[in-house]
Amino acid sequence: MASSGSMEDLTAALESSCSTQTAASAENGPGISKKAAQKAAKKAERLQNRQAAAATAATAKEEDDPLGHNYGDLPLEDVQSKGISGRIWTKVSELDAALKERNVLIRGRAQSARGKGKIAFLIVREQGYTVQCVATVSESVSKGLVKYVTGLSKESIVDVEGVVSKPDVEIASTTQQVEIQVRKVYCVSKAASVLPLNLEDAARSERDLEKAEKEGVQYVRVGQDTRLNNRVLDLRTPANQAIFRIQSYVSMLFRQYLLSEDFVEIHTPKLMAGASEGGSAVFKLDYKGQSACLAQSPQLHKQMAICADFGRVFEIGPVFRAEDSFTHRHLCEFTGLDLEMEIKEHYFEVLDLLGELFVSIFDGLNAKCKKELQAINQQYPFEPLQYLRKTLLLTFPEGVQMLKDAGVEVDPFGDLNTESERRLGQLVKEKYNTDFYVLHRYPLAVRPFYTMPAVDDNRYSNSFDVFIRGEEIISGAQRVHDPDLLVKRAGDCGIDVKTLTAYIDSFRWGTVPHGGAGVGLERVVMLFCALNNIRKSSLFPRDPQRLAP
């Protein structure tokens, strides 16, 4: 039986050459000269050509191999649902010492394959979990199988059958601390021998790249455009696998909490006759001869649902903004987590619920996503989010005063810019030891037309924003439910009320006072994990310059 220690020299040699492999589109990091980059590219090309030739030769099954039926490329008809065999697959994540000496069948990606002579090592990855598979020539394993394994191209889908063993030493290169002694290997789907990017390169942290540069080692730095242009490959890295599992948890925890608080999930139209937020930042389109646009939010229809006596509603769905915002936190399409609810007396009822909701979400992520957070931390190191059990509430004037005391001058009746928001977040963290807080009572002039003015001073409004690490994730308010005031507010904001007739009429038929909020899912994930760009938390980002893949 081979242990992980028996492959160290071979692994090191092969991985050092693999680390320089890249496609022409991969971007080199700073400090690498043009001449060095060209030399590395030529070396990578030669290596790729050798690998392609080796793969073709290796995967050609030896006709006289009596054990040839134990390996090879599966015919397409074998995976065309022609029958049910009754075989049982084991998840890679479930492989542990309890399965020692048990025969198992797994399916995953060939993360790496290497070998020499009578032994080959194949690391199989399934959804972020990896296991080392060892093929050794014996009575049941032919030299042809070993040769076949070494020729498998990276990222190919393989079925591996073998016996679980437990080596005496730690396996540093895989998540699972067992090995599979291979008996059979079949390729289900062959990946191209040359890929646009290497996952080893895409998974390196900035810290690893900087350390390598100081030591004179040249790694390929995979740039954002290369990642997004080849997003399917990029999403296979451990950090990305973790990011979008955390995103799934955020929406699940959001839904679970609100359902427990008697909210009803609704689904509103995304084709609109007029802008729901005001302004010109809408995607316009022709709707059977009528002028229409994509919804900037579900705002109007979730309010109409309150008018229809649903009491408390929420929605998880796409939101479209045609803003030319070339920033780290803006997208033209994102996933909105929206809620609306009846108010009995005060809009603080909404704030109290939001505070409890997000504390519940944060607690849930910290309790249920430890492995995912660890995986993200390895590539994108971050400090855990600090938050209070009772969410901090500050008024807009209080925030302005904190900034003023720190030497930052802002318009007391204007909106805060990005730099001011970040600085206020730092001041709040220093004073209150929290990354999560609410700023409410914003100036009315900077809020949407449906925002309720403050009762004591109509220069202000019953509105709020919620922040994580000094960046806004939530915008909300008590809504105007008086139709005459709503018409006036819409006109003041330059909105054609004729496009909002159905919306305004719903308030003429009687409705309860209500308020709500809109949350950006991608922004929540980005800031909880302290990622530096929202494109990292968007599965397939849509920004002013990107419409594919």
- Residues carrying an active site annotation: 321, 323, 329-330, 472, 475, 523
Beta strands in 20-100 (DSSP E): 71-73
User: Whole-angstrom Cα distance, residue 11 to residue 5?
Assistant: 10
Half-sphere exposure of 319 (CA within 13 A, CB side): 26
Q: Strand 290-294's sheet: what is its strand order?
A: 271-272, 290-294, 284-287
Pair 413, 445: CB distance under 8 Å = yes
What radius of gyration, in Å, describes the C-alpha atoms of the chain?
28
The secondary element (H helix, E strand) that includes residue 516 is strand 514-520
Q: What are phi and psi of 364, to 5 degrees?
A: -65, -45
Q: Which residues are CB-neighbours of 460 under 8 A, at least 6 positions away?
A: 396, 441, 442, 443, 444, 453, 454
User: Whole-angstrom Cα distance, residue 109 to residue 160?
Assistant: 10
Helix-then-strand count for the chain, H and E:
16, 17
The 3 state secondary structure assigned to 236-273 is CCHHHHHHHHHHHHHHHHHHHHHHHCCCEECCCCCEEC
The secondary element (H helix, E strand) that includes residue 465 is strand 463-468
Pair 471, 422: CB distance under 8 Å = yes
How many other CB atoms are there within 10 angstroms of residue 105's CB atom?
15
Name 477's bridge partners.
463, 516
| Residue 202 CA from chain centroid, whole number | 15
